[in-house]
Amino acid sequence: MRVLVVKMSSLGDVIHTLPAITDAARALPHCRFDWVVEEAFAEIPGWHPAVDRVIPIALRRWRKHPLRDFTGAEWRQCRQALRKNHYDAVIDAQGLLKSALVARLVKAPVFGMDKDSVREPIASRGYHHKIAVSRELHAVERIRLLFARALNYALPEEPGDYGVRQYLKLAKDDLPPSLLFFHGTARAEKLWPEHHWQALATQAGRAGFGVWLPWGSEEERLRAERIENECASARVLPKLDLLGLASMLLEVDGAVAVDTGLAHLAAALDVPTVSLYGPTDTRLIGAYGRNQVHIQSPVGVSDTTEPAAMMTSITPDMAWAGLQSALSADSRS
């Protein structure tokens, strides 16, 4: 049996799909998967041993020049790749109109959530089989349930397993005690104040931890350098791809993160992590897995008209206490 998974973006959403792949592979050992994913996140699906082929797609880039790119060679090659193999089923795990349209390019039964469950109700019109999934479940559990009902196996009772940590064969550097600080995020209202990061890095240094500061954009690099300049224990990393960040995560003792896809990467690798949240509903989309601690802003959405105040209200002492809790619960073998 061969199944095509359509889950194209973003980083956290792609990672959220991995436990469903693990469930299906254990319930149906003969089942193999191919996966359509945005080119920026194409590394992730290939880390799972049940995924045979990753089909990169570039909708984010192509839509900037639609008349050119949706009639060009890359689009034709993508369509050919989608139609190369025979599939017994296609599962749209994203639930958007764009993902439903991609799923329908394949000549196979398409499964997705029904109009009351899916993120964009119009997407359900593209599915041959529409599945009801509660909106009150965490995103990981919603996708696990979708796969179980689509492929007709019993949903496991135990928490989801991302299934990638043990298959990432990465070189060990034997770092001294250290932490990763994921300080960057795409949305300004989810940023934690820079002076809070500096205070937390100083506290970590006093406790004997080095602090590593990754970055992706120029803005994040400059922030990391300012934190480094204020804290003797902090060091800015070179720019790393996702595999490089995964390698670092497997080396460090723990991580601190704002609401970013990299927090979900840490969760997928069972790294003790404290994640800092403002308006995010952590019940539904918080970092999922072992060794994870969520700190929700004590300032609620109804308490302020300034979203940044929610993140500012999370103090460095609160983050440090959460990190201690995550580290003490470390269940990695």
168-200 pLDDT, tens digit each:
866 566 789 999 999 999 899 999 999 999 999
The pLDDT of residue 291: 94
> Is 285 within the bounds of a domain?
yes
The pLDDT of residue 304: 73
State pLDDT tens for residues 276-307.
999 889 999 999 999 999 999 998 766 776 87
Specify the residue for token string 């979708």: 146
The pLDDT of residue 175: 84
In a shared domain, residues 161 and 174: no
In a shared domain, residues 292 and 227: yes
The pLDDT of residue 71: 64
> Is 122 within the bounds of a domain?
yes
Domain boundary among 166, 196, 230: 166
The pLDDT of residue 118: 98
> Is 302 within the bounds of a domain?
yes
More confident site: 62 or 8 = 8
The pLDDT of residue 182: 98
In a shared domain, residues 309 and 220: yes
State pLDDT tens for residues 57-94.
998 887 776 656 566 788 889 899 999 999 999 999 99
> Is 228 within the bounds of a domain?
yes
pLDDT over threshold 80, residue 332: no
In a shared domain, residues 88 and 111: yes
Binned at pLDDT 50, 70 and 90, residue 330 comes out as confident
In a shared domain, residues 188 and 150: no
Domain boundary among 145, 166, 187: 166
> Is 333 within the bounds of a domain?
no
In a shared domain, residues 187 and 310: yes
In a shared domain, residues 48 and 84: yes
Across the range 36-60, mean pLDDT stands at 95
pLDDT over threshold 90, residue 131: yes
In a shared domain, residues 95 and 185: no
In a shared domain, residues 16 and 161: yes
The pLDDT of residue 306: 80
Residue 281 neighbours by CB under 8 Å, 6+ apart: none
Rounded Cα–Cα distance for residues 197 and 230 (Å): 10
In a shared domain, residues 101 and 191: no
Rounded Cα–Cα distance for residues 142 and 250 (Å): 27
Number of domains in the chain: 2
CA angle 27, 29, 34 (to 5 degrees): 100
**Sheet containing 234-236: which strands, arranged edge to edge?**
234-236, 210-213, 178-182, 254-257, 273-277, 292-296
Number of other CB atoms surrounding residue 135 within 10 Å? 11
In a shared domain, residues 186 and 271: yes
> Is 25 within the bounds of a domain?
yes
Across the range 134-146, mean pLDDT stands at 98
Provide the mean pLDDT of the chain.
94
Domain boundary among 166, 193, 210: 166
Rounded Cα–Cα distance for residues 109 and 139 (Å): 23
Binned at pLDDT 50, 70 and 90, residue 221 comes out as very high
The pLDDT of residue 67: 57
**CATH number for position 205:** 3.40.50.2000
> Is 235 within the bounds of a domain?
yes
State pLDDT tens for residues 242-281.
999 999 999 999 999 999 999 999 999 999 999 999 988 9
In a shared domain, residues 76 and 174: no
Predicted structure pTM score: 0.95
| Domain span holding position 150 | 2-166
